[in-house]
Amino acid sequence: MKSTPIPALCAALAVAAQAQAAPKVPPAAPVAAPTEADWRTPDPQNILVIDTNKGRIIVELSPLAAPLAVARVRELTRAGLYDGRAFFRVLDNFMDQTGDPLDNGTGGSAKPDLPGEFTFRRGPETPLVVATKAAGTEAGFLGSLPVISQTMDLGILTVDHKVNAWGTFCPGVAGMARAESPDSANSQFYLMRDATPNLDQKYTPFGRAIAGLDVIRAIKTGEPVAAPQDRMLTVRVLADIPAPERPQVRVIDPRGAWFKAMVDRVRTAKVVDLSICDLDIPAEVK
């Protein structure tokens, strides 16, 4: 039988003594499930159901942030322009671009181009749920769209008592593509694979994917994308889908207690300052 060397035995005894003396750290309490009060049901007029050959993407539109872009996307969706459209320009760690009738980035609809909606005016009545504050700005959610805003404290200095706010390009955000002119958005749009804040206040964000980010990131990459390209098979407004086949969608309400507790957990876990793109809004689709 082999004996344990004295130095090793002493070290083992010391470790055991320290373990006995150390206070017991209770395990982290399990995260409580959201209650019914923590969910909201989005307006079906503001939900796009995008079925691709890689899976389903569900986008919640944000008419408060970009009313013209939302109206245009709804109109073209109902006209069938987006059905069968290719993802023709897809850059990993950046975005998936689609919505061109020519599938090559040079086309658009017969509708006039849209003015840029890079910022909007936020007032006391704007239902922005603030999650973080820093250096004179506030960041939070307008529905499911991540938004950065000047602090409302500045509202007392403006004629309309409002401040500037803008959607920020976190993962899943949908934005209108455009040419060099800031007022040249038409039909093309893109879905963000990852956060790209240098697009903020230069492009129009009009919504965010609340389900299907994994699908967005699975779309075949390329500039241009080589054949065969991944495609949007059908794009529909949720309200237009017949009831028997309509998916049931609900989203965590950022005004609820569960979401506030989640923000606190993420903030505690972060080593550096919390970014709005560190936060996600869970959704349930049945």
Greatest C-alpha distance within the chain: 90
Residue the block writes with tokens 């890689």:
54
Q: Check: CATH 3.30.1370.60 for 48-285?
A: no
163-219 pLDDT tens trace: 999 999 999 999 999 999 999 999 999 999 999 999 999 999 999 999 999 999 999
Residue 198 phi, psi (nearest 5):
-70, -5
91-125 pLDDT tens trace: 999 999 999 999 999 999 999 999 999 999 999 99
pTM (predicted TM-score): 0.87
What single letter denotes the amino acid at residue 139?
Answer: A
26-48 pLDDT tens trace: 444 567 899 999 999 999 999 99
